[in-house]
Structure 1
């Protein structure tokens, strides 16, 4: 059995529960999903400041899990790929960011793709990540204007607003695939794909499938371990 730890870098428990459920739906029946939450993180991550504040507790989630030795891979469930490089230095297990996973898969199925994110403050982070991943020439980023926590507050309105962004991406960006730029959008992917007749990639499912693939290939990256303070809870438990 493969055990994947999926970490919500923010401290909103309802999002942790939703992320764990989305990961479980994407996982193979022999994969166990363990949802973890950064209790010292911000309520949501919108832009570079929130991301920086989330990193210490996020890294502690991985260190705590490594002490138990039970995980085969980790997923960082923030589309900004918060703390991804540092996390990969703490473990020899695969660590996957949902942003990188979704963008790489979108680039495999279309010559151009558009990321629909939450607020404009997130655009510079995601654009910088596309540069780092070598995908800036094929990926663009649009903001829906919906705060992260607003996705839960009014899902119907969020679906309509994101749909408007998709229509603009298809017409203006000439994109052949859409990437949903927030873990909180995971449940909308299939409905949006059906409504707009376009492939819609969401990062949680993409990351789960990649984590399963990497663990099956038994590829272990080298890592440098560093002791960190303990601020993480995983009392959400297996999903």
Structure 2
């Protein structure tokens, strides 16, 4: 990402896929450096964004904020923790992100134009978003990569788009159900207790856990079920790697 890019706290939280409340707790717990203040507004750099993403990954792995603080302090000292933590891009954002991952409308049309309303569907499916009339950017790298893998494996483009649309619908349904469950149980209890029994930092860890754990669990289940259904074809089962 080019130098000079700045984010307000709302923009930082949105880009990192977390909440403003979480960012503030990270400041309070000493795991996120303060922003540059201009006037009365704090501005965050791409390095802040990568740090917040790293914190989220470590929370996903079940590491508490105190442990994260120690690990990141070791990283900042130059200790060789990159392979362990998966934070090799901490100092600088990935090159793909720096380039904005843009693609021309012509190239995108070549890929999906043969499908009726192809361009509109890839936007609606969340793969790409328009920058201007001639340029698109990747909106979801993992989803776009998955689409490329399916197409590369020989799945027709139209069926790939249909499957991704269904995938988004299924994932949205799961996410809404989990969020509702958390909201009407844990969050409601926290509010009614006037936050006396659980501190903000501890509650933020619970929020980060419920935000990330369902996805990991769902991914494992989907992969397991796909393998099971593929193995129902005896000839195909012979080509699958053993358990």
Pick the TM interval, shorter chain: under 0.3
Give the strand-richer structure, 1 or 2: 1
**Alignment TM-score, normalising by the size of structure 1:** 0.23
| TM-score calculated relative to the size of structure 2 | 0.23
- Tell which has more relative contact order, 1 or 2 (C-alpha 8 A, sep 6+): 1
Which protein has the larger Cα radius of gyration, Structure 1 or Structure 2?
A: 2
